[in-house]
C-alpha cells in the first residue's frame, strides 16, 4: 500500500495556524499592540478602517528592528522572547510563540516599516499571502509601523463569517481597552475611518480607567490593595449601588496581561454577597502580580486563560481583600458589632497629640443671688402677666370668644345638623360581594402572581403574564417606531444618564428609533445624556435599567440599519419593562391583558419565540379524573 501521509506546504500550514491566532480583526489588533508594547514603545497609535476589514495599522516609537530581524519576524516560530523550553516559565513579555506575524501575513496584505535608532534608513517589507513581494530600504521614523490590509482576502469563507462593522468594531475597542488598561504609562491613540475614537495620555491606573469609561466612573471606584508572598493585588471595585445588569466592566490582569477566569470572578461575587440586587454584577478592575513560575500561560491560543499553581489560596486572598476594602470605606458592615464609625480617628489626625482644652470659670457666680433689674422691660412684663393668668380658671380662656368670631358663630347657631345632606345617599349594596357576583363579573383569575387563568368555549387558557406583556409591548413599540406615533410623558426634572464612549456610540445609532418610541433627549455631553421625556409605558425609575439593558443587547447582536435594528430595539425595551412574575394584578388588569394579547397579530409566542399561553380542553381535564 502506498504512503498517504505527507508534509503540508508552508502556505497551507500558515493558513491553518492563522485559524487559531486570527479569528477576527480584533485578534490582529491584539497581537500588533502587544508587539508594540514588547518593543518598549511609549506612544502607540492604532488606525482602523471599516472595522478592520480594510485596514489595521499600528504605529509605535519603540526600538525598531534591524534588516535581518524584520525579515525573520515573519517566519513561523521565530521569536526573540524564548531560547529554551525553561523560558516558558519565566515569561515577562506578551508574545512569545512567534506565530502572530506569520499567521497575519498568511491571510492579509502586510506592509512593515521599521528603523532602529542608530540606523540612517529603515526597512520596508511587503508580503501577500505568506509570499514576500518586496524588501527595500526606506525613510521612516524610529520605531515600527505595520499595517494589515484586506483581511481574509484569500479565504472568502472566513471573510463571510465576519459580523457587521458595528460588532467587529466593538471587539476591536474591547481589545484596545484591555491592552490600554494594563499599561497606563503608555500613551494610546485610536482612529476609526479618519476620526479620533480614543486619546489616552500617559497616566496611572485610576486615571486610565476614568479616561476610558468616562468622568463619572471616578466616584464609583473603591481601591483594593493586598500584598502577600503568593500574590500582590491592586486595583478597584465598583460600589454596589452602581452594579449593572451586564458584565461589561469586569477586568482581571495577571502580570499586566488580560485574562478571563470564572473561578476568580466567583471570588469577587462572593465578596459582594448580600450587597447586590438580584441579577446585578459588580464592576471591577483588578491587577494581580504573581511569580511567573507559578502560572502557565501557554494553555490557550489567545493566551486569555491561565493556570494557577494554587488557585484556592488565591481565591481566599482575593475575596478577603475585597471584603476588607468594602468594610474599610463603610460600604459593607464590619464584624465588630460594638464599633461606632463616628469614633474613628480621621486619617489626617492619626499620630497627632491631643490638645488640652482651656476651661474658663466665673468664680463670682452665685446661683442664690436675686436677679438684678437687667432684663428688658418687655420680658419682665410678659413673664409677670403670664404668672397671673395661670392662677385663674381654665374657663377664662374661652370667655368672649364669640365676639371675635361673629361670622363663624352665626353660621354655627343657624346650622341644624338634622338637615345635613351627604354627597351621595345611593345604596351601594353589601360591603362584601357574594361569590356568585364575583364569578359573574370577572372571568379571569391570577394564579401564584404568575399566570392568568381564563375560560374559552373549549376549556380554559393559562396565560404567562410576563411573556404576554412582552408580546403586547413589542407590537405596540414596533407600531410606534414605524409610524412615529408614540406618546411621551414629560419629566418634571430631566434625568441624566452616564455612558462610556462605546455605549454612547451605540445609542447614537438608534437615537431616531428611540425618539419614535417616546424618548425626548436634551443636551448631550461627553459620556452623559439628558432625558426630558420617556415613553408612557415605562416609569422614571426603569429608564436607567432599560437603557443599560438596551446597550447590552445592541452590543451582543448589533444588526445593520433597517427593520432588524428596529426589531432588536423593540425586543429589548419590551423585555425590560414587561410586568414581572410576582406582580399582583387587579381583575380589570387581568382582563385587559388577556384581551390585548389576543388582539395581537402573533399572540401565541413572545418576540423570542417562547409560548405565551397554553390551552386545556374539557376532554383533557376529564382525562385527569
Give CATH 3.30.230.10 domain extents, the chain.
205-328
Given a cut of 70, whether residue 423 has pLDDT beyond it is: no
Residue 173 corresponds to which cell in the numbers above?
Answer: 475597542
Enter the pTM of the model.
0.67
Checking if the pLDDT of 35 tops 70, the result is yes
What distance in Å separates the CA atoms of residue 25 and residue 275, rounded to the nearest whole number?
39
pLDDT digits 0-9 by tens, 71-88 = 888 887 766 665 565 555
**Three-state secondary structure call for residue 208:** helix
Q: Are 51 and 168 within 8 A, CB to CB?
A: yes
Task: Write out the DSSP string of 16-72.
Answer: HHHHHH-SSHHHHHHHHHHHHHHTT-SEEEEEEEGGGTSEEEEEE-S----HHHHHH
Residue pointed to by grid coordinates 540612517 = 120
pLDDT at position 402 is 55
**pLDDT single digits (tens) 589-614:** 888 888 888 888 888 888 888 888 88
In CATH, the architecture of 10-200 is 2-Layer Sandwich (3.30)
CATH number assigned to the domain covering 445-615: 3.30.1370.100
- Is residue 33 within 8 Å of residue 39, measured between CB atoms? no
CA–CA–CA angle 123, 125, 129 (5° rounding): 165
Q: What is the three-state SS of 447-509?
A: ECCCEEEEEECCEEEEEEHHHHHHHHHHHHHHHHHHHCCCCEEEEEEEEEEECCHHHHHHHHH
Q: Would you say 67 and 123 are in contact if contact means Cβ atoms under 8 Å apart?
A: yes
347 pLDDT more than 80 = no
Q: Please report where in the chains the cell 402572581 appears, as a residue.
A: 449
Q: What pLDDT shows up at residue 318?
A: 92
Q: What is the mean pLDDT of residues 570-575?
A: 81
From CA 34, how far away is CA 180, in angstroms rounded? 10
Res 527: pLDDT: 67
Where does 484-608 have alpha helices with state H? 501-509, 511-517, 543-556, 563-577, 587-598
Cα separation, 39 vs 59, whole angstroms: 11
Range 546-572 average pLDDT: 68
Separation between Cα atoms, residue 224 and residue 235, nearest integer Å = 5
Query: What are the residue ranges of CATH 3.30.1370.100 in the chain?
Result: 445-615
CATH C-level class of 205-328: alpha beta
Task: Give percent above pLDDT 90 in the chain.
Answer: 18
Model pLDDT, residue 144: 93
DSSP letters, 213-230, are H-GGGGGGEEEEEEE-SS
CA distances from 338 to 275, 323, 325, 333 (A): 21, 19, 19, 12
Mean pLDDT score, 278-286: 86
Residues of each domain in the chain carrying CATH 3.30.565.10? 10-200
Residues 6+ apart with CB under 8 A from 562: none
pLDDT at 256 over 80: yes
Amino acid at each position: 500500500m502506498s504512503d498517504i501521509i505527507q508534509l503540508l506546504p508552508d502556505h497551507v500550514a500558515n493558513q491553518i495556524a492563522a485559524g487559531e491566532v486570527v479569528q477576527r480583526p480584533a485578534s490582529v489588533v491584539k497581537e500588533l499592540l502587544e508587539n508594540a508594547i514588547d518593543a518598549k514603545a511609549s506612544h502607540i497609535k492604532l488606525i482602523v478602517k471599516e472595522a478592520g476589514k480594510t485596514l489595521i495599522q499600528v504605529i509605535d516609537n519603540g526600538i525598531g528592528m534591524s534588516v535581518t530581524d524584520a525579515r525573520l519576524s515573519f517566519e513561523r516560530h521565530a521569536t526573540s522572547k524564548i531560547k529554551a523550553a525553561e523560558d516558558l516559565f519565566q515569561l515577562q513579555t506578551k508574545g512569545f510563540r512567534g506565530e502572530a506575524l506569520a499567521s497575519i501575513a498568511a491571510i492579509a496584505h502586510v506592509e512593515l516599516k521599521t528603523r532602529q535608532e542608530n540606523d540612517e534608513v529603515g526597512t520596508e517589507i511587503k508580503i501577500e499571502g505568506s509570499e514576500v513581494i518586496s524588501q527595500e530600504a526606506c525613510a521612516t521614523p524610529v520605531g515600527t509601523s505595520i499595517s494589515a490590509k484586506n483581511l481574509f482576502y484569500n479565504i472568502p469563507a472566513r471573510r463571510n463569517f465576519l459580523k457587521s462593522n458595528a460588532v467587529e468594531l466593538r471587539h476591536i475597542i474591547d481589545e484596545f481597552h484591555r491592552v490600554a488598561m494594563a499599561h497606563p504609562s503608555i500613551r494610546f491613540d485610536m482612529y476609526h475611518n479618519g476620526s479620533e475614537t480614543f486619546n489616552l495620555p500617559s497616566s496611572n491606573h485610576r486615571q486610565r480607567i476614568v479616561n476610558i469609561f468616562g468622568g463619572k466612573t471616578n466616584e464609583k471606584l473603591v481601591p483594593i490593595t493586598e500584598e502577600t508572598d503568593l500574590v500582590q493585588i491592586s486595583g478597584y471595585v465598583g460600589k454596589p449601588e452602581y452594579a449593572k445588569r451586564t458584565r461589561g466592566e469586569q477586568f482581571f490582569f495577571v502580570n499586566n496581561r488580560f485574562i478571563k477566569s470564572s473561578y476568580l470572578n466567583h471570588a469577587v461575587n462572593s465578596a459582594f454577597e448580600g450587597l447586590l440586587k438580584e441579577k446585578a454584577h459588580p464592576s471591577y478592575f483588578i491587577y494581580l502580580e504573581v511569580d511567573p513560575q507559578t502560572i502557565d500561560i501557554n494553555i490557550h491560543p489567545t493566551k486569555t486563560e491561565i493556570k494557577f499553581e494554587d488557585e484556592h489560596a488565591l481565591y481566599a486572598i482575593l475575596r478577603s481583600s475585597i471584603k476588607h476594602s468594602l468594610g474599610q470605606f463603610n460600604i459593607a458592615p464590619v464584624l465588630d458589632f460594638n464599633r461606632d464609625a463616628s469614633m474613628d480617628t480621621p486619617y489626617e489626625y492619626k499620630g497627632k497629640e491631643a490638645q488640652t482644652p482651656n476651661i474658663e470659670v466665673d468664680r463670682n457666680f452665685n446661683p442664690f443671688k436675686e436677679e438684678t433689674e437687667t432684663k428688658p422691660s418687655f420680658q419682665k412684663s410678659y413673664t409677670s402677666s403670664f404668672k397671673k393668668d395661670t392662677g385663674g380658671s381654665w374657663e377664662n380662656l374661652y370667655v368672649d370668644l364669640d365676639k371675635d368670631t361673629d361670622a363663624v358663630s352665626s353660621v354655627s347657631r343657624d346650622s341644624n345638623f338634622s338637615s345635613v345632606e351627604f354627597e351621595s345617599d345611593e345604596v351601594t349594596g353589601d360591603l362584601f360581594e357574594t361569590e356568585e357576583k364575583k364569578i359573574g363579573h370577572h372571568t379571569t383569575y391570577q394564579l401564584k402572581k404568575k399566570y392568568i387563568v381564563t375560560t374559552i368555549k373549549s376549556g380554559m387558557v393559562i396565560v404567562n403574564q410576563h411573556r404576554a406583556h412582552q408580546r403586547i409591548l413589542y407590537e405596540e413599540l414596533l407600531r410606534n417606531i414605524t409610524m412615529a406615533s408614540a406618546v411621551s410623558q414629560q419629566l418634571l426634572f430631566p434625568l441624566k444618564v452616564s455612558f462610556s464612549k462605546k455605549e454612547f456610540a451605540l445609542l447614537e445609532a438608534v437615537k431616531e428609533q428611540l425618539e419614535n418610541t417616546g424618548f425626548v433627549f436634551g443636551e448631550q455631553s461627553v459620556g452623559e445624556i439628558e432625558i426630558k421625556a420617556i415613553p408612557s409605558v415605562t416609569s422614571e425609575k426603569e429608564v436607567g435599567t432599560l437603557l443599560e439593558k438596551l446597550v447590552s443587547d445592541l452590543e451582543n447582536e448589533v444588526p445593520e440599519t433597517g427593520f432588524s435594528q428596529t426589531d432588536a430595539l423593540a425586543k429589548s425595551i419590551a423585555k425590560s419593562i414587561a410586568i414581572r412574575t410576582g406582580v399582583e394584578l387587579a381583575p380589570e388588569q387581568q382582563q385587559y391583558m388577556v384581551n390585548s394579547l389576543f388582539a395581537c397579530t402573533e399572540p401565541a409566542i413572545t418576540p423570542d419565540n417562547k409560548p405565551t399561553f397554553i390551552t386545556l380542553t374539557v376532554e383533557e381535564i376529564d382525562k385527569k379524573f
